[in-house]
Copies of this chain bind each other. A is one copy, B any other.
Amino acid sequence: MSSESQADRRRLQMADIARLAGVSVSTVSRALNGSSLVNDETKQRIGELARSLNYTINQSAKNLRLQRNQTIAVVVPYDAQSRQHISDPFFLSMVGSLADALTDRGYDMLLSRVDAEALDSVSSLYDSGRAIGIVLIGQWRHHDQLNALAARGVPVVVWGGQLPQQLYCTVGGDNLLGGRLATAHLLQEGRRRILFLGDAQLPEVALRLAGYRQALADAGVPYDEARVRKVPFEEHDAELAIARQVASAHEGRADFDAVFASSDLIAILVMRALRRRGLRVPEDVAVVGYDNVALAAYADPPLTTVHQPVSQAGVELVDALIHLMAGTPQVPRVMPVELVVRLSSVVAPVNA
């Protein structure tokens, strides 16, 4: 260890480099920013000096001076009531995808978690200048707060479903199509009594439910409200609720022969609950999930699900936000989804 401790070592700044190089600060600034106004040789020399001293331009000062900033806030809401965090792998992979997209485009990513019940507090990230734009993962039940945010001119893009009277820009999978594909598939497999599990208060789930109804209508199968059940988002609650519902349905002489779950996590919990009650998947009950998280392919049995284009999603969210920040109004973007058929929904084997 050197004699100067890390705590009292003053950070290097441009003036130091300038002094050492025998030039003015402006020259250093220009050199380090690759300006053509400075002699190539000088540029070279300054560059090497800076590198050898591990000097890097202070971003805060630069940003302050330039009145710009390259930080995008990515906000993952959490449920403060249960003090539970979102454990759904789908959200986490979304974070990864956004990290990639932002890094590729040279933005810094500020990750924050905020109380899902106080979504409008995210605006302070913008108001305080810490971020020049915001990506929100999931719109939850706070359509109005998001509208207010957008109306105030906060550049925000939301992963979620398109809603009427929407002032903010959403990017999302085609939930209506996803719901239709999943349901049509189950119908085609000969299932008629399909349970829909999910919280239809969430816009995305509501759209998937609409797709479900549409597919039923197309097939001339009557819609039965009793077959639509809300499931809590949090894992442990969900587990209990699912067990209860499977049990009650089962006791009523198994009044369903398929389940369409609004997330893979729910679907996997369902399969487990079914198995514990001695019901076979897919023979007795076919199951389809949503998201196509990594887990789905390795579930028992491998889970049929609706694939959401996660890595493309990160790119689209960032792209929409960049346009928005540039002042170009953005219409919601709906991305294609695909049904991935695995063993949980078909009795005759397919290539898993």
Contacts and interface: CB of A to CB of B under 8 A. Distances in A.
A100 B127 contact: no
A54 B96 contact: no
Contacts of A113: 99-100, 103
Determine the interface band of chain A, counting residues with CB < 8 A from chain B: 35 or more
Interface in A41-57: 54-57
Given A110-B109, A298-B299, A11 B61 contact: no
A240 interface: no
Contacts of A74: 111
A5 interface: yes
Interface stretch (A84-92, A182-190, A208-216, A219-227): A84-92
Interface in A126-177: 127-130, 151-155
Given A108-B110, A272-B298, A127 B92 contact: no
A286 B85 CA distance: 33
Given A60-B60, A153-B6, A327-B6, A112 B103 contact: yes
A64 interface: yes
Interface in A239-297: 268-269, 272, 294-295
A60 B56 contact: no
A128 B6 contact: no
Contacts of A155: 6
A124 interface: yes
Given A85-B96, A92-B92, A108-B110, A56 B295 contact: no
A58 interface: yes
Nearest to A54: B127
Contacts of A103: 112-113
A40 interface: no
Contacts of A69: 60
A93 B55 CA distance: 33
Contacts of A89: 89, 92, 294-295
Given A56-B129, A60-B63, 5 more contacts: A11-B127, A54-B127, A60-B129, A60-B130, A89-B92
Interface of A: 1, 5-7, 9, 11-12, 54-61, 63-64, 69, 71, 74, 76, 85-87, 89, 92-93, 95-96, 99-100, 103, 108-113, 123-124, 127-130, 151-155, 235, 268-269, 272, 294-295, 298-301, 326-327
8 contacts: A55-B127, A58-B129, A60-B69, A92-B92, A92-B95, A99-B111, A103-B112, A298-B300
Nearest 3 pairs of A and B residues by beta carbon = A300-B300, A6-B153, A7-B327
